[in-house]
Chain A
């Protein structure tokens, strides 16, 4: 595959980089409604030069030279994204708009039955008011990611940038009332915006989420995302794999529009090409985590599991149960590499924290040696989200004839976002805001959500859903396969309550810098 050479200064930086994990653990997401197209364009015009692009900051550690015009690492990153209605409100030509994909035009509410947002407590009456159908439409999303200070709080610049944006809307609204309106109605510390933060420990950010797992270890690697030397190494365990175990970066077009994708084509997109090229779609999902129910259920199920598999301690049963649900131990060690407590401990002795060897061992694995899921259950979260080589239709052929991750390569998503709230919050306001970037929301994000998380047929598990984030209607169960040699029977965990529920969101388009400039100038010309 030809390596893509990306013009990094044309691409919004939050697509290529998960800021939340990489030095910007505090975030604030603001939503706007545009009441007047010209004022909206002026707003975009004023903000678009502040947008943080994918240009790399000089780094001695990563040998990224400053070059002639070094960019400085900002205290706060700023990125922009639009809903379809937002693009319509900004006055884009209909001919451009009709080239947008129907999933994006629909928006997340209209896709409720696909996403499982029409059942249980996912339904919109449970959503934050700002996302509800009877409120003014969300048009524009401004995402701010901030560095943390020594106290583990957001640097003061976050408040300053927020004030600056609000002052800008105030001046636009003074000229034309209601021109650019900050939408309120988020739950949490401020109803004016969504506050997010990595979970902190000793004033330092961690990669944990509220259930206690280390999150976001694997993420797709695509061609052009990293400097050439770095990219091939990172693709191991995170890119595409063939039957022989050779890894490569995924095609750029799976995540950025206007580039060849894994079907070896440049998919059609909204015209003109400059409007779409280097842009990306993403779904914004505010996901509440039922921490109490999770703790309660895990506690009860661990006791049954301990009795069934005769664990040394209840703690071991609990850790194993959680690992079997997630596909990784709480510290991120994959079950494929370490299927039981002893192997887990051995893995941690072998690979010291923070070493490149450990980073690679956390992601470099395939499912070919575990077709029955006795190491990592077929229906675990990890095996559903990223099926790697598990669905290889030629799995039983000679290695050179196998298809590896071919069926998975078109279903990958870049996971961005951060947790919100505190695990102990009395109001139960805690979860994560998940941003899933991809070139096609229906082919990638929605497919994974509908077919792999909320259904089990591809894993020979009928209608069983993901034990962690899937919908758990009456009768939900999770089966842990057992190696017959172990002498244990498969463990069937029944009666799973809902652990993760939707609390709002929408579909967004993150345009390139070129497209942002055209939108701001009102010169999007599809002819």
Chain B
């Protein structure tokens, strides 16, 4: 797997944070990682409940119609799992001093893991990363400045192109992605164990024959021949492994209608059609025909630019969201 899979770009970045304490506007001091966490915690969420709607705020990421998911996590240190285990008897025989501390891995500074799943653009040289990052900058530069200000190197970012370049410098390869919309599954063909063995045998045989022909011409001894066969087997095994490796790295083809505008449109059509189906139960053919024609006109299922579900809301069928009330728990006093 790679950064691009199934038509989606799976971005993973690890962004180092500065260590210099930050002075806020009110004069208080804090650490860059705390400032970053505070910024992330106060970013508005999508409008997923009446309370969010009433607050009048919307997730800034909803301004971008390429972003499916995005996740930001501050990584302070790698987890320490304790001393490496081992066989107590062997350690005793080897006189391992269990009181001498093993080294503990540390990061030199906190990192921000910033990951996103967005629509790739196969026509662009980098698969769409730069255009996505630039687009994000155009739509939410203020929020991006607030979030990334404690990050190393962000201070010199002045525009979308610089933001894209900076993000790319922090990028690491995504080795495992999760694509939620991949339906239907493509018809995938891996190699069977039989094919792998046959490829190995054929490779070994061909290389050995080549070596045998060469040795026969130069009058090599049987010992050299044996060595040549072993080398051929080794080369063939490496070749088969390379074959599997490259096959495994090949991304899935883009799925049908899995870009964000199509997904949003599908959600909208599905919700509207469910209401239509309920409404038209028992209707006669003429009414059915007329009403369905009206539906096509109103909902325009093929028109991505037409009526659709805007990003950042959870339904678009006109039905109100259920109100969740704050339920007070029992007082702590028993």
Does A473 interact with chain B (Cβ within 8 Å)?
Answer: yes
Does B55 interact with chain A (Cβ within 8 Å)?
Answer: no
Q: Which of B33-41, B100-108, B210-218, B323-331 forms contacts with chain A?
A: B323-331
Does B320 interact with chain A (Cβ within 8 Å)?
Answer: yes
Contact check: which of B277, B281, B326, B330 meets A107 at CB < 8 Å?
Answer: B330
Instruction: Establish whether residues B325 and A118, one from each chain, have CB atoms under 8 Å apart when the complex forms.
Output: yes
Instruction: Establish whether residues A477 and B274, one from each chain, have CB atoms under 8 Å apart when the complex forms.
Output: yes
Once the chains are docked, how many angstroms separate the CA of A134 from the CA of B281? 49
Chain A residues with Cβ under 8 A from B274's Cβ?
Answer: 477, 492
Does A47 interact with chain B (Cβ within 8 Å)?
Answer: no
Instruction: Establish whether residues B327 and A123, one from each chain, have CB atoms under 8 Å apart when the complex forms.
Output: yes
Interface of B: prevailing SS: loop
Contact check: which of A118, A307, A475, A491 meets B327 at CB < 8 Å?
Answer: A118
Once the chains are docked, how many angstroms separate the CA of A21 from the CA of B282? 43
Contact check: which of B281, B322, B323 meets A492 at CB < 8 Å?
Answer: B281
Number of interface residues of A (CB under 8 A): 30
Does B290 interact with chain A (Cβ within 8 Å)?
Answer: no
Once the chains are docked, how many angstroms separate the CA of A492 from the CA of B273? 12
Shortest Cβ distance from A344 into chain B, in angstroms? 24
Shortest Cβ distance from A86 into chain B, in angstroms? 9
Instruction: Establish whether residues B327 and A107, one from each chain, have CB atoms under 8 Å apart when the complex forms.
Output: no
Instruction: Establish whether residues B324 and A118, one from each chain, have CB atoms under 8 Å apart when the complex forms.
Output: yes
Chain B residues with Cβ under 8 A from A113's Cβ?
Answer: 324, 327
Instruction: Establish whether residues B334 and A112, one from each chain, have CB atoms under 8 Å apart when the complex forms.
Output: no
Known: A110-B329, A475-B317. A85 touches B334 (CB 8 A): yes
Contact check: which of B319, B324, B325, B329 meets A133 at CB < 8 Å?
Answer: B329
Chain B residues with Cβ under 8 A from A123's Cβ?
Answer: 325, 327
Does B278 interact with chain A (Cβ within 8 Å)?
Answer: yes
Nearest residue (CB) in B for A477 is B278
Across chains A and B, the number of contacting residue pairs, with CB separation under 8 Å, is 60
Nearest residue (CB) in B for A85 is B334
Nearest residue (CB) in B for A88 is B334
Instruction: Establish whether residues B281 and A475, one from each chain, have CB atoms under 8 Å apart when the complex forms.
Output: no
Interface residues on B, range: 10 to 19
Nearest residue (CB) in B for A506 is B330
Instruction: Establish whether residues A473 and B324, one from each chain, have CB atoms under 8 Å apart when the complex forms.
Output: no
Contact check: which of B281, B322, B323 meets A491 at CB < 8 Å?
Answer: B281
Chain B residues with Cβ under 8 A from A106's Cβ?
Answer: 329
Chain A residues with Cβ under 8 A from B329's Cβ?
Answer: 106-107, 109-110, 133
Chain A residues with Cβ under 8 A from B320's Cβ?
Answer: 474-475
Instruction: Establish whether residues B330 and A85, one from each chain, have CB atoms under 8 Å apart when the complex forms.
Output: yes
Contact check: which of B278, B281, B322, B326 meets A474 at CB < 8 Å?
Answer: B322
Contact check: which of A109, A120, A492 meets B278 at CB < 8 Å?
Answer: A492
Within 8 A of B (CB), among A482-509: 489-492, 494
Known: A474-B319, A475-B319, A477-B274. A304 touches B281 (CB 8 A): yes
Known: A118-B324, A119-B323, A474-B320. A109 touches B281 (CB 8 A): no
Contact check: which of B282, B330, B334 meets A110 at CB < 8 Å?
Answer: B330
Chain A residues with Cβ under 8 A from B278's Cβ?
Answer: 477, 492, 494
Once the chains are docked, how many angstroms separate the CA of A475 from the CA of B328? 27
Contact check: which of B323, B327, B331, B334 meets A124 at CB < 8 Å?
Answer: B327
Chain B residues with Cβ under 8 A from A133's Cβ?
Answer: 328-331
Within 8 A of B (CB), among A308-340: 308
Instruction: Establish whether residues B322 and A109, one from each chain, have CB atoms under 8 Å apart when the complex forms.
Output: no
Nearest residue (CB) in B for A493 is B278
Does A446 interact with chain B (Cβ within 8 Å)?
Answer: no
Shortest Cβ distance from B267 into chain A, in angstroms? 10
Within 8 A of B (CB), among A71-93: 85, 88-89
Once the chains are docked, how many angstroms separate the CA of A106 from the CA of B324? 19
Once the chains are docked, how many angstroms separate the CA of A112 from the CA of B326? 9
Shortest Cβ distance from B6 into chain A, in angstroms? 22
Once the chains are docked, how many angstroms separate the CA of A117 from the CA of B327? 8
Contact check: which of A110, A137, A471 meets B322 at CB < 8 Å?
Answer: A471
Once the chains are docked, how many angstroms separate the CA of A109 from the CA of B326? 11
Shortest Cβ distance from A368 into chain B, in angstroms? 22
Chain B residues with Cβ under 8 A from A304's Cβ?
Answer: 281-282
Once the chains are docked, how many angstroms separate the CA of A190 from the CA of B256? 63
Nearest residue (CB) in A for B328 is A133
Shortest Cβ distance from B329 into chain A, in angstroms? 4
Known: A85-B330, A85-B334, A477-B274. A119 touches B325 (CB 8 A): yes
Shortest Cβ distance from A434 into chain B, in angstroms? 20
Shortest Cβ distance from B63 into chain A, in angstroms? 26
Q: C-beta contact mask, B44-85 vs A, less than 8 Å → 1, else 0?
A: 000000000000000000000000000000000000000000
Q: C-beta contact mask, A457-481 vs B, less than 8 Å → 1, else 0?
A: 0000000000000010111010000
Once the chains are docked, how many angstroms separate the CA of A133 from the CA of B325? 14
Query: Interface centre among B317, B324, B325, B334, by most A CB within 10 Å?
Result: B334
Within 8 A of A (CB), among B288-334: 317, 319-320, 322-331, 334
Shortest Cβ distance from A458 into chain B, in angstroms? 16
Once the chains are docked, how many angstroms separate the CA of A113 from the CA of B329? 11
Within 8 A of B (CB), among A37-67: none
Q: C-beta contact mask, A420-450 vs B, less than 8 Å → 1, else 0?
A: 0000000000000000000000000000000
Contact check: which of A107, A124, A307, A474 meets B282 at CB < 8 Å?
Answer: A307
Once the chains are docked, how many angstroms separate the CA of A124 from the CA of B328? 9
Nearest residue (CB) in A for B278 is A492
Chain B residues with Cβ under 8 A from A494's Cβ?
Answer: 278
Instruction: Establish whether residues A112 and B327, one from each chain, have CB atoms under 8 Å apart when the complex forms.
Output: yes
Once the chains are docked, how many angstroms separate the CA of A308 from the CA of B279? 12
Chain B residues with Cβ under 8 A from A124's Cβ?
Answer: 327-328
Chain B residues with Cβ under 8 A from A110's Cβ?
Answer: 327, 329-330
Chain B residues with Cβ under 8 A from A112's Cβ?
Answer: 327
Shortest Cβ distance from B239 into chain A, in angstroms? 35
Known: A307-B282, A477-B274, A477-B278. A119 touches B330 (CB 8 A): no
Once the chains are docked, how many angstroms separate the CA of A124 from the CA of B325? 10
Shortest Cβ distance from A107 into chain B, in angstroms? 6
Partner-A contacts on B (CB < 8 A): 274, 277-278, 281-282, 317, 319-320, 322-331, 334
16 CB contacts below 8 A, A to B, read A85-B330, A85-B334, A107-B329, A109-B328, A110-B327, A112-B327, A113-B327, A118-B326, A118-B327, A123-B325, A124-B327, A124-B328, A137-B330, A474-B320, A474-B322, A492-B274
Closest 7 CB pairs of A and B: A475-B319, A112-B327, A473-B322, A110-B329, A492-B278, A118-B324, A494-B278
Partner-B contacts on A (CB < 8 A): 85, 88-89, 106-107, 109-110, 112-113, 117-120, 123-124, 133, 137, 304, 307-308, 471, 473-475, 477, 489-492, 494
Beyond the given A308-B282, A475-B317, could you list 13 further A-B residue pairs with CB under 8 A, ordered by the A residue number? A117-B327, A118-B327, A119-B325, A123-B325, A133-B328, A133-B330, A133-B331, A137-B330, A304-B281, A308-B281, A492-B278, A492-B281, A494-B278
